[in-house]
Amino acid sequence: MPYSSLNPTTNQLIQTYPSWDDHHLQQALEKAHGAQKAWAQTSFARRAAVLRDTAIRLRAHPDRYSTLITLEMGKPLREARDEVEKCAVVCDYYAQHGEDFLRADAVESDAGKSYVGYYPLGVVLAVMPWNFPFWQVFRAAAPALMAGNALVLKHAANVPQCALAIEAVFRDSGLAEGLFTTLMIEVGQVADAIASPHVHAVTLTGSEAAGRKVAASAGENLKKCVLELGGSDPFIVLHDADLELATDMAVASRFLNCGQSCIAAKRFIVVPQIADEFLRRFKVKVEALRIGDPMDDATQIGPLARPDLRATLHQQVSDSIAQGALAVTGCGAVEREGFFYQPSILDRVTDKARAWHEELFGPVAIVIRAASEEDALRIANETRFGLGSSIWSQDTARAEQLAAHIQAGCTFINGMVKSDPRLPFGGVKASGYGRELSRLGIHEFVNAKTVWIRN
């Protein structure tokens, strides 16, 4: 099946690309392996120079790259520009800090000298999604390349132009051929890529189902693996929350990228004292969101990336309403060309509804009414996911105490969950394992090697 670039705003085919056969794949992996051996011998200064030049090129042509993102997956152009800038930031971050992160750690032992050195693993296979088609790739590529690894990319089939543009910007920045390669392969070939002796580790951002398959292949072949999977992040609003701030951030967190974000707030868990007022304010702000052409800077809600995503979302919403949830606003497709869905709120969602148990990947917020603060914490943890979470309260000391008990990779207090190069990012439970970004992220794909020297 070819890679197809389809504009979700107009439902028009932009371009197709043929998939590779197995021979082409193995040639590319072998080339990456050879290139990585030479790259591993380069200085940190050389690696940092490539990353800095990449950041410069991204900032020199933000409209080129942001337009490509919007054309292929439909996010508002202004959000796509922010995504491109964030990619430049992560390149600058690892160019500046990578050498320090990888400096050997001296350790006291019975040796005359002993330390832990950090050395590249080899070729890292990155299996990446379509929802942040530049950012997800760059947050894996920047630390991997800075550590001396090569990276081969299996991108989502609906964003091939983004994948090729990323490869081109690295190449134009001086990265040798083979050190970053887009693999135009089918999903069924991913297991073969993982099994290749030329691949040494794999990182995936994607669905829980995809994560299980990649983890199984990585385990069978004893390859290091990092998984960043789905989420159903709780957004806990306590009785003393600043409701104006909380509802502003509720809208921003749920409806950014048309709700197609693993770390979007998805379950709005509210205590009785403020539940009705929170919902009233939330509804007004959601209904004020502007739906339209994502190329228009005034647009806040663009289309979903594919028609099947919209169909799945609507079925989840319809089933949840039949199971007792109340439709507050939206809850249907937008009657226009493209794959648009109304910004929606479901209230009084209980554990009888699909929306309680499943991740809703689109512009739908669910409101869950907790009986108390303790009940809110219970509900927050009553999910198989554990990616992000947030707590909204003016008593930050109390919120910090509660944060310690939330089963998630991060908790933000009075702030929207986001990824930041300076902070580790990843989840627990069915949201995956391992960490991206920060010092922890660059250490995922290195050999932490003990060196012991006698007196």
Catalytic residue list: 228, 262
Q: Rounded to an integer, what distance in angstroms lies between the CA atom of residue 268 and that of residue 246?
A: 10
Contacts with 223 (C-beta within 8 Å, 6 or more apart), sequence order: 194, 199, 200, 201, 202, 217
Beta-carbon neighbour count of residue 429 at 10 Å?
17
Q: Cα 118 from chain centroid?
A: 26
Q: 98-105: long-range contacts at Cβ-Cβ below 8 A with a sequence spacing of 24 or more? A: 98/44, 98/47, 98/48, 98/51, 98/143, 98/146, 98/147, 98/442, 99/44, 99/45, 99/48, 101/439, 101/442, 101/443, 102/44, 102/146, 102/147, 102/442, 102/446, 104/451
Report whether 355 contacts 203 (CB < 8 A).
no
Report whether 206 contacts 243 (CB < 8 A).
no
